[in-house]
Amino acid sequence: MNAPVKASSTIPFDAARLDRLMDEAGMDVLIATSKHNVQYLLGGHRAFFFDYMDAMGLSRYLPVLVYVKGAPDKSAYFGHRLENFQRDNHPFWTPVQLCNSSGSIDTMQKAVEHIRKAGITTAGIGAELSFLPVDAGRTLQDAFAGAKFADCLFVLERMRAIKTPEELKKLKVASEAVLDSMKAVIARHKPGATKAELTEALRREETNRGLTFEYCLITAGTSLNRAPSEQVWGKGDILSLDSGGNYHGYIGDICRMAIQGEPDAELEDMLADIEEIQRASMKPIKAGAMGSEIYRQAEERLARSKYHNNMHFLGHGMGLVSHEAPRLTSTGPVPYDDYDAHRPLEAGMVISVETTLAHPKRGFIKLEDTAVVTATGCEVYGEGARGWNRGGTAT
């Protein structure tokens, strides 16, 4: 058993809002099992030992947080024994916090036992169906065979949609560090560097700035292939860097362009067109504006571009998860409905806007920005280096 630890007295999210969302969804108890939602509900805790992996021994790491509607004093967290070190330093808010589990079934069995002993109503159970292993899910269902189970993805997504000031600080740090990393990589590499070498250099730059490097989608020259490879960034070639790096779990995701040499008039025109579409998409962003206005204004400007046949605009939410709420389109590359297109934006929402030109002769040209909804407009994180950044300029 764990040694007694005094719980934090502050619930790190709007419990009344969560209660209302659960009530609307017919849920009495919510069981979170994804690392990102557990982190959100615990106010920042993420098991450092399992940050890069879940598998261990004959099972896997499975954090389980039980939240009870209208009775947070009955809530509990069940984790792995290695989480005790973090818990000792920063106790969780849940009155019950046991970190002594060894696998997915074991952790869920402890959660089931807690629910039964605490007398928690289980007529409606919300679970993260996409993040619940079959063995742990069967354990939960067998224990409460008469309960109605529902996916709590929507409920938790609506909670995460409005970021707190502390969350926004993390997103700003992440975005600006990704931008600074890109500028450093571009400036330090002359013609001859491969896409694989540039990606590795970007990884090091982001890591040195305190980020966890997640990915780099990269193109060079006229190729539209965005995977790291041995392709060379040569003299006169354009380069796109589209990278996500996270800071304490919050993702900074931007795209910037570069060139070895000087851009010609057509390249200048192409990037200027993209910039105007980006600005058009951000112009309507403010609390109270309909989410659909972002797409309407972006697509109106895109339609006037001479390059519109090869252009595409996309807007999506960002935070602990890429493509989280707000949901602004039902025709994007990640399937979901356009729930927020028909509702007013709220202060604290975070939207990634991106305009892409995949030109068959000139290559891949793109800008991506992170815009935060405010009461009077929007704030862009990672605002600089929006033009053609010159390669190899570092002395």
pLDDT reported for residue 1: 42
* DSSP assignment letter at 336: -
- Tell me the pLDDT band of 395, cut-offs 50, 70 and 90: confident
118 and 74 Cβ atoms separated by less than 8 Å = yes
- Tell me the pLDDT band of 5, cut-offs 50, 70 and 90: low
Nearest alpha-carbon partner for 71 in 40, 29, 33: 29
Convert the pLDDT of each residue in 34-83 to its tens digit.
999 999 999 999 999 999 899 999 999 999 999 999 999 999 999 999 99
Cα–Cα distance measured from residue 278 to residue 288, given in angstroms and rounded to the nearest whole number: 20
pLDDT reported for residue 3: 45
Side-chain half-sphere exposure of 21, counting CA atoms within 13 A = 19
Averaged pLDDT of the chain: 96
Write a three-state SS string for 169-228: HHHHHHHHHHHHHHHHHHHHCCCCEEHHHHHHHHHHHHHHCCCEEEEEEEEECCCCCCCC
pLDDT reported for residue 322: 92
CATH architecture observed for domain 15-160: 3-Layer(aba) Sandwich (3.40)
Give the residue-averaged pLDDT of 191-213.
98
pLDDT reported for residue 4: 47
Domains 15-160 and 165-390 share a fold: no
| Domain range annotation of the chain | 15-160, 165-390
Torsion over CA: 33, 37, 42, 45 (sign):
positive
**Segments of the chain assigned E as strands:** 29-32, 55-56, 59-60, 64-68, 76-80, 96-101, 124-127, 148-151, 193-194, 212-220, 232-233, 238-247, 250-259, 311-317, 350-359, 363-373, 378-381, 388-390
Convert the pLDDT of each residue in 148-173 to its tens digit.
999 999 999 999 999 999 999 999 99
Q: Tell me, what amino acid is at 267?
A: L
pLDDT reported for residue 9: 63
Cα–Cα distance measured from residue 154 to residue 346, given in angstroms and rounded to the nearest whole number: 17
Side-chain half-sphere exposure of 303, counting CA atoms within 13 A = 6
Cα–Cα distance measured from residue 369 to residue 381, given in angstroms and rounded to the nearest whole number: 7
Cα–Cα distance measured from residue 133 to residue 145, given in angstroms and rounded to the nearest whole number: 18
State CA 14 to chain mean position distance. Answer: 20
Convert the pLDDT of each residue in 104-163 to its tens digit.
999 999 999 999 999 999 999 999 999 999 999 999 999 999 999 999 999 999 999 999
pLDDT reported for residue 6: 55
pLDDT reported for residue 7: 56
Convert the pLDDT of each residue in 242-254 to its tens digit.
999 999 999 999 9
Retrieve residue 117's tokens: 């002993």
Would you list the DSSP string of 221-273? TT----S--S-EE-TT-EEEEEEEEEETTEEEEEEEEEESS---HHHHHHHHH
Convert the pLDDT of each residue in 8-36 to its tens digit.
568 999 999 999 999 999 999 999 999 99
Nearest alpha-carbon partner for 33 in 117, 133, 116, 125: 133
CATH of domain 165-390: 3.90.230.10
Cα–Cα distance measured from residue 22 to residue 34, given in angstroms and rounded to the nearest whole number: 18
Nearest alpha-carbon partner for 160 in 90, 249, 243: 249
Which residues are paired to 380 by β-bridges?
371
**Widest Cα–Cα separation across the chain:** 72
Q: Is the pLDDT of residue 320 over 60?
A: yes
Question: What percentage of the chain exceeds 70 in pLDDT?
Answer: 98
Cα–Cα distance measured from residue 6 to residue 16, given in angstroms and rounded to the nearest whole number: 23
Contact residues for 208 (Cβ-Cβ < 8 A; gap 6+): none
pLDDT reported for residue 8: 57
Retrieve residue 16's tokens: 């009344």
Residues in the chain: 395
30, containing H or E segment: strand 29-32
